[in-house]
Structure 1
Amino acid sequence: MFYRFIWKRDRVKRNVMVQDYSKGGLKMIDIRIMHKCCLLRSIKKLLSGSETPTPTCKKIQLYYFKKLGPDLCILRHNCSAVHVSSKDSLLPLPLYYRKLILTWYEMKPVQNVNDIEVNQVNWQLLWNNACISYKGNMLYFKKWIRRHILYVNDIVDNQGNFISFDDVKAIVGNDAHVLLQYHALINSIPKQWKGVSRLDNEESPSIKLCGKDIRLLDSIFFKNFCIMQYQAVPVSQNFWEKRFPMYDFRSISWHVLWKSPFLTTKEPKLISLQWKILHNIYPTKILLHKMRIVENNKCIFCDIIEYIEHFFFDCKIVKPLWDYVESLFSYSISLTVHDIIFGYNPHMLNKFRYINELLLVAKLSIVKYKSTVSSPNSLCQDAEIILKIFKSECILRNMI
């Protein structure tokens, strides 16, 4: 709803809009992210022992989770959301709990064998674990789970050997499938994990997200973590890099360029203008023609295609304005099209903030005049009017 209200259809990817200013975003609210954050917080509250949810609510939640295995093992699997959703075990759950579990696995990264340190091997879950597979399939033995055989620690002895089939049979029961399941499980354990000794009198570890105890994480972490899952590079970065191959995008990173308007001024109108220019969505004639709003894509003053560079820099009626801006400084500067589009030395913003703010005001003055003119006057008249608008804008802001 927020995005369609602004542009009818998206001109900038929503995954970009929700990002930080330094990544080309506007920190927009995203309902998907808010929903996922709420679900992650509910898992934290369930595990943290806080007063919320109430004891009754917590009992209800634990009741549903325990139906899927002891020790909240449903939250300890090392697999993708797609794999979890394919299991019939989630079907009896209410929709809310199914959504909560699937969101958890959408956010939780799947680990491989190399990601797991030696001291973590004992508490690796045996079931639905991407590191433990037999003939390409993860294992999930419901009877073993009900008998509390959950972790690698449960199938090794103090010498680091796997427990015998007789020991397993004594726990699980004398079933026809147990022997095949036993050998499938033993053969599925990675070589790097074999030889690990049993740990006695230790509780199962806390449930973690990105290696951190979820009970210790706050709402800001959940929000930033969810936003990271939707990261996207603005399309305009590739456009400008191809458009200006001589501009040094390596030494002046895009993080600096995206953040520069927000550090240059606090005026929303100026920030919005520069943000649209960087995203290449400012409505010049070439864009309006593609949108079928105007009949042609040519500048009414110069009769050539009106790209953004032409609109703000190459157009003959704006040249006198840039000459005037250059004359305002006690030292000599020569403004280029790169300076107008991206800012003047944006990587040294503390030193050149005043210049960059003047450039933003000058671009706003160009917009104010060109957006109201339907037919050109003489070159001198048009240039003079733009100059007057610029001076009045600067006086309003006490800049000259």
Structure 2
Amino acid sequence: MENLFQFSWCFWEFQIGDHIEPLDPDLIASFVQYGVFGSGFNYEATGSSLVYNQVYPYEGLQNYTSGIIHHVLLTGLDPNTLYEYQCGDPYIPAMSSVHYFRTMPSQSNDYPSRIAVVGDLGLTYNTSTTFNHLISNHPDLVLLVGGLSYADFYLTNGTQSDCYSCSFHETYQPRWDYWGRFMQPLLANVPTMVIAGDHEIEEQAESQTFVAYSSRFAVPSEESGSSSTLYYSFNAGGIHFVILCPYISYDKSSDQYHWLEWDLSNVDRTVTPWLIAAWYPPWYSTYKSHYREAECMRVEMEDLLFYYGVDIVFNGHVHAYERSNRVYNYTLDPCGPVYVTVGDGGSLENLDIEHADEPGNCPDPSTTPNNYIGGFCAFNFTSGPANGKFCWDEQPDYSAYRESSFGHGILQVENETHALWTWHRNQDKFNTAGDIIYIVREPDRCPV
């Protein structure tokens, strides 16, 4: 995959209420003027624009229409190079201030220096601390593992909802605009990839889902052979990332599964030695909240990830931190992935504290499935220390470290076999690691 960069921004104000009139996307053009840092804006690229609506089938709910959202794709960029740019419409004129970004390295023996990983940010006091610490750690690439704006936690009148579990609930779309403005210092200067979680579903009239997510974020679906914005892949130097979604079909007959099998089979480990996967709900989490919720997805896809030698998996959803040992099918395996849950970015929900293996905390199996993720697959264990039970009686041996604190993680891939993972608590200084470990690949021991 060549060095591609997609620029997205929003111009003009949103509208919300009973009588909304969508803007005409052709009112303003989509331009990015850019050049290598210090050489001026020697290049220009144009793109497309759109407006999306969030419309409800019930009276009394306020509908929403966005400002004009622009997407411009830049190609042919030099690897590992600092660029400066501004975006807007130079003929009005209406151009942004100047921002900067660095492209990804392209060689198999070169990697982004620091990759920040965090999920479930929302827009809270804790989000601010996470955000400030993350920026202070100077990432070259950011992976947001779902749970972005939490607009679905608010009614259309802007007040917080007390019925998130209702079969149909409203979302307050201006939260997306507020979140985007808050995140601009990061998003305007650091390449950022996003993942869709259940907070991005946002069902509306005619059963439309993921409209805000798919409209606001441009991901390399087409470039990676995917037919959906909800699953895709990309390279960052010697790392191949695979992004998946459990909220659409993923079984072995689905388009997503067939795409995943095709994508993994085409990874050249001499070019991208590291293989990292990410999606929202974790397969390996010991917290009571969302315990074994994504078991159906694990049953369908785990063998495929293991067969192709995925090294690391990042998840969110659980509002706490947990890192596993290398594991496959709930059993320690030196060739399985390391699973890291980082759903501790700062969402307005409380931190998850209780563990399913603690006395009295094991949930009733019938309460664990998620309607969007599939049917009931989380049966009692048939072997090992938890044989005949739904939960372990103590912290499972695959769970290496767990802590209920807000924070973010930094991955530093140093070469084709060693990567340093550090997790940073919000209550510590940004450069202090609460959890630190080298993740080591053993390609001779675990051939793909």
The TM-score bracket by the shorter chain reads under 0.3
**Which has the higher Rg, Structure 1 or Structure 2?**
1
Greater helix fraction, Structure 1 or Structure 2:
1
Greater strand fraction, Structure 1 or Structure 2:
2
How high is the TM-score relative to the length of structure 2?
0.22
